[in-house]
Amino acid sequence: MSKSKYNVINPDDVVADYGADTFRMYEMFLGPIEQSKPWDTQGIEGVSKFIRRFWGLFFVNDKMSLVDEVPDKQELKILHQVIKKVSEDIEKFSFNTAVSALMIAVNELKKLNCRKKDILIPLLKLIAPFAPYTSEGLWKLSGNESSIHLTDFPEYDESFLVQDSFEYPVCVNGKKRFIKSFPSDISKDEIENTVLDLDELQRWIEGKTIIKTIVVPKRMINIVVK
């Protein structure tokens, strides 16, 4: 890309077409700041769609729809995971992975149809450095008079990041047959006793002799039969 070849992307044109926040966030999303990156029109379209999707979390039928309901564990886990990730990435100047984490969180909250104020307002503060105009607009529409950029940056709570359960791949002779979720604090003996009684397992061990059951905590379960 060179001025002499007249193939330079004019930032003013991009801002006019997509807005300053989309341009800013796309620049961060391209990759590590110390590396050269190719310009990709499809990529900036993706960032534009993300910002619209984020904006849509706050509205139903063009009306602000934040609710005061208490967040559930899943929503709190999504929020505090992304706060932790973005905070750490900002410290490392890894803005591309921070933007990626925000995109994942918004998609997950969208699937849950989450419109809870205690989730979306901290998320709004989290996205503010990346999309300052969008976040300021939503902040004011949420009933706040001062600037969002004068508020405290959200902090994550480690207690919401504790995994209550773990999904174990259950294998028979090393081949995965199904997945079963167990509480994170369950013992190996309890897992072994429970898994051997599962209806899902019986079809794979019927008529066979169980040689041993191998439980690797928070990794996998393998039943050896012959």
Q: Is residue 1 part of a domain?
A: no
Q: Are residues 127 and 195 in the same domain?
A: no
CATH number of the domain where residue 83 is located: 1.10.730.10
Q: Are residues 84 and 18 in the same domain?
A: yes
> What is the spatial distance between Cα 81 and Cα 158, in angstroms, rounded to a whole number?
9
Structural domains of the chain, count: 2
Q: Are residues 133 and 179 in the same domain?
A: no
> What is the spatial distance between Cα 109 and Cα 55, in angstroms, rounded to a whole number?
12
End position of a domain, from candidates 141, 161, 181: 161
Does this model's pTM top 0.85? My answer is no
207: left (phi over 0), alpha (psi -120 to 50) or beta: left
Q: Are residues 113 and 135 in the same domain?
A: yes
Q: What is the mean pLDDT of residues 59-85?
A: 95
Q: Give me the pLDDT at residue 162, please.
A: 82
pLDDT tens for 136-193 read 999 999 999 999 999 999 999 998 988 888 899 999 999 999 999 998 889 999 999 9
Q: Are residues 63 and 112 in the same domain?
A: yes
Q: Give me the pLDDT at residue 6, please.
A: 47
- For the ranges 32-36, 60-64, 107-111, 155-159, which has the lowest average pLDDT? 32-36
Range of the domain at 92: 6-161
User: By three-state DSSP, how is residue 85 classified?
Assistant: helix
Q: Please, are residues 116 and 123 in contact by the beta-carbon 8 Å criterion? A: no
CATH number of the domain where residue 197 is located: 3.10.20.590
